[in-house]
Amino acid sequence: MSETLKVTAADGHAFDLTIFSASANAPLLLIGPAMGTPARIYTPLAEAFAAAGVNAAVIELRGIGSSSLRAGKSVDYGYRDLIEKDWTAALSALRSRFATSPIYLFGHSLGGQVSVMHAATQPADVAGAVIVASGSVYFRSWKGAKALGILAFTQFAGVLSGALGYFPGKRVGFGGTEAKTLMQDWARFGRTGRLDLAGVGADYEAALGTLQKPVLGLSFDHDTLAPHRSQKNLLNKLTQARVTHLALGEKDSGARLNHYNWIKQNKDVVARIVQWIKTEGVAS
């Protein structure tokens, strides 16, 4: 069974936060989706966590699904809006509901990047972070022709977003209809390897090096969008965190897990994360 909370961010953006409860005092995972991915896709994963005794809540990304906004020429936002407005509002809503539960930020792909940046700048909000199939989009995380392809595509996305005022992901075949600033932040990350975000405020690249919470990363042999090296490059920014990186192959998980299929084929992933929370996580 799930419950949906209606959440409103500081700028008026409204979105759904779907909660899958295990027990009132159990640890809680706030699940942040991949770019262009509706929250409902994570229902099997959240249900599996609840069945394993861990509360889970799935946030809807700005511009997707239940979000009151749609990216376009007149509607723009970037990483900062997700980190500072949406994740902050979601955590506030969860804390009022789960007053004594340790909360871990959990992110897939884009959601993982946002999660570690929020944890780094608001560490009092969370007990730690988990990223799965998430990493740096810096093109040197890949090798050879693949690296050049990543560089070319990320820069194409940034230029196209600037020209149109938004990114037509559905037509391009990557992500959804995404905001200009979000994609230009992403393109800059792909080109430089640094999370230097547009706008005024926290220096997220520097903040990542100050995070002192436990962080778990899971990457998969068959994930071409966030391969092991990509995740390692993101985790390497967390120089003061207690980092565990599990680079999993078919022999480890019993399945050929890739960037998306682990969400449904989640038995091994859930078991590893629950065990980590019981040991490394609670030791923080």
| Share of residues in the chain with pLDDT > 70 (%) | 99
Q: Which residues 6+ apart lie within 8 Å of 18 measured at CB?
A: 2, 3, 4, 5, 39, 40, 43, 46, 57, 58, 60
Q: Is 19 exposed, middle or buried (0-12, 13-18, 19+ CB in 10 A)?
A: buried
234: its two tokens: 């993101």
CA angle 6, 10, 11 (to 5 degrees): 100
What is the predicted pLDDT for the residue at 280?
81
CATH code of the region 2-71+80-139+201-282: 3.40.50.1820
Give residues with Cβ within 8 angstroms of 143, minimum separation 6: none
Helix (H, G, I), strand (E, B) or coil at 6: strand
Instruction: Give the integer Cα–Cα distance in Å for 191 and 22.
Output: 42
Can you list the positions of beta strands (E) in the chain?
Answer: 2-8, 14-20, 28-32, 55-59, 103-108, 128-132, 166-168, 177-179, 214-220, 242-248
Confidence of residue 284 (pLDDT cuts 50, 70, 90): very low
Distance CA 115, CA 104 (A): 9
Is it the case that residue 202 has pLDDT exceeding 50? Answer: yes
Sorted by where each begins, the domain ranges of the chain are 2-71+80-139+201-282
Structure confidence at residue 257 (pLDDT): 99
Sort strands 55-59 and 14-20 into parallel, antiparallel or unpaired: antiparallel
Q: What is the pLDDT of residues 17-73, one digit of tens each?
A: 999 999 999 999 999 999 999 999 999 999 999 999 999 999 999 999 999 999 999
Structure tokens at 132: 């799965």
What is the edge-to-edge ordering of all strands in the sheet holding 214-220? 2-8, 14-20, 55-59, 28-32, 103-108, 128-132, 214-220, 242-248
Supply angle C-alpha 275, 279, 282, rounded to 5: 115
The band of 281, judged by pLDDT with boundaries at 50, 70 and 90, is low
Cα 206 to chain centroid distance, Å, stands at: 19
Give the pLDDT confidence of 211-247 residue by residue, as tens digits: 999 999 999 999 999 999 999 999 999 999 999 999 9
Separation between Cα atoms, residue 190 and residue 138, nearest integer Å: 4
Token pair listed for 127: 């007990």
Question: Are 33 and 114 within 8 A, CB to CB?
Answer: no
For residue 188, the cross-strand partners are: none
